[in-house]
């Protein structure tokens, strides 16, 4: 039985995971400062994670696990809390996303999950009929956890094409929208992240029925994730990959260049002040 199965259900998973990390580190007799010299992560990040105040990414867990000789146990515990909060049909994509060197996405309705702030993600997730508060919070945590992919030693290249209507859709209220669009503008400052906006006035209908993602992996065929109203579909079938690439290329051709896209984001941000 895992530590999570034995634990008091009132204890937050991140706190419990942090306690397991600390237990294994102390067993080896290594200090946080010394551990920071062994793994490519700062002592402050290690401390935050051990106290359950920060969500660790896979790279962090793998390095930590190896450094303290946990034999994969800590990685398995991390996978447990990450996967249990995600829909079953989406779990396969999580591993693909973690391994990808390049990610492309199209979103006609909401901000891409990898760029959502916590409040925005919560508002989107709570729109699911019948979802409980507990389920919603676990799903929010899992969505924010995905964003740790940008904390990898070599983060993936991430290119997002977004319909302009997303910038004006009132999700979570004015303050949430203001913060979310500010997050988009900040994200573009990273050399690893690119965002292009498809103007509403063009009346583009390509891809209007749903979002999708393309993952390019080292030494493997491209993979695609296609959204639907009830669940998602992960595929490496050549015909699916080719069709999604064609849609993405068509959408990107209609999108504004990045500099003009920033102006569209800033224009929309003023509406939410």
Each residue of 42-99: pLDDT tens digit? 898 899 899 987 767 778 889 999 999 999 999 888 877 766 655 555 666 877 888 8
Say whether both 61 and 112 belong to one domain: no
Pick the residue with more confidence: 92 or 18? 18
What is residue 241's predicted lDDT score, i.e. its pLDDT? 96
pLDDT at 29 over 80: yes
Question: Which domain-ending residue is among 84, 105, 134?
Answer: 84
Measure the CA–CA gap between 161 and 117, rounded to whole angstroms.
18
Q: Between helices 58-67 and 43-50, what is the axis angle to 10°?
A: 90
What is residue 2's predicted lDDT score, i.e. its pLDDT? 47
Domain that holds residue 45: 3-84
**CB within 8 Å of 13: residues ≥ 6 apart:** 4, 81, 138, 141
pLDDT of 199-258, one tens digit each?
999 999 999 989 999 999 998 999 999 987 767 888 999 999 999 999 999 999 999 999
**CB within 8 Å of 100: residues ≥ 6 apart:** 156, 215, 216, 217, 223
Say whether both 254 and 138 belong to one domain: yes
Say whether both 79 and 162 belong to one domain: no
- Beta strand 193-198 pairing with 102-107: unpaired
Say whether both 136 and 41 belong to one domain: no
Determine the average pLDDT of the residues in 96-118: 94
pLDDT of 154-193, one tens digit each?
889 999 999 999 999 999 999 999 999 999 999 999 999 9
Pick the residue with more confidence: 57 or 196? 196
What is residue 84's predicted lDDT score, i.e. its pLDDT? 60
Taking the whole predicted model, whether its pTM rises above 0.75 is answered as no
**Quick check: 164 and 106 in contact, CB under 8 A?**
no
| Domain tally, the chain | 2
Pick the residue with more confidence: 79 or 2? 79
Question: Which domain-ending residue is among 40, 62, 84?
Answer: 84
Q: What is the CATH number of the domain that holds 171?
A: 3.30.870
Say whether both 35 and 117 belong to one domain: no
Question: Which domain-ending residue is among 84, 113, 147?
Answer: 84
Say whether both 149 and 216 belong to one domain: yes
Q: Exposed, middle or buried: residue 144 (CB in 10 Å: 0-12, 13-18, 19+)?
A: middle
């Amino acid at each position: 039985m895992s530590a999570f199965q034995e634990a008091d259900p009132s204890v937050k998973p991140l706190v419990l995971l942090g306690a397991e990390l600390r237990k294994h580190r102390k067993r080896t007799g290594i200090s946080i400062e010394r551990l920071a010299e062994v793994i490519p992560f700062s002592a402050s990040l290690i401390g935050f994670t051990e106290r359950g105040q920060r969500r660790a990414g896979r790279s962090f867990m793998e390095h930590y696990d190896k450094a303290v000789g946990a034999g994969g146990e800590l990685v398995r515990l991390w996978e447990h809390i990450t996967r249990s909060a995600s829909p079953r049909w989406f779990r396969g994509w999580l591993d693909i996303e973690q391994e990808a060197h390049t990610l492309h996405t199209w979103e006609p309705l909401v901000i891409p999950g990898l760029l959502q702030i916590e409040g925005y993600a919560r508002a989107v997730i709570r729109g699911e009929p019948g979802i409980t508060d507990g389920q919603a919070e676990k799903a929010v945590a899992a969505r924010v956890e995905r964003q740790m992919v940008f904390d990898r030693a070599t983060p993936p290249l991430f290119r997002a094409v977004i319909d302009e209507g997303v910038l004006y859709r009132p999700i979570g209220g004015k303050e949430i929208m203001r913060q979310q669009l500010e997050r988009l503008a900040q994200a573009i400052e990273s050399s690893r992240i690119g965002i292009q906006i498809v103007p509403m006035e063009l009346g583009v209908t390509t891809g209007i029925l749903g979002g999708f993602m393309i993952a390019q992996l080292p030494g493997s065929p491209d993979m695609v994730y296609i959204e639907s109203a009830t669940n998602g579909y992960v595929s490496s079938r050549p015909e699916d990959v080719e069709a999604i690439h064609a849609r993405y290329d068509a959408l990107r051709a209609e999108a504004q260049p990045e500099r003009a896209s920033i102006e569209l984001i800033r224009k929309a941000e003023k509406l939410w002040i």
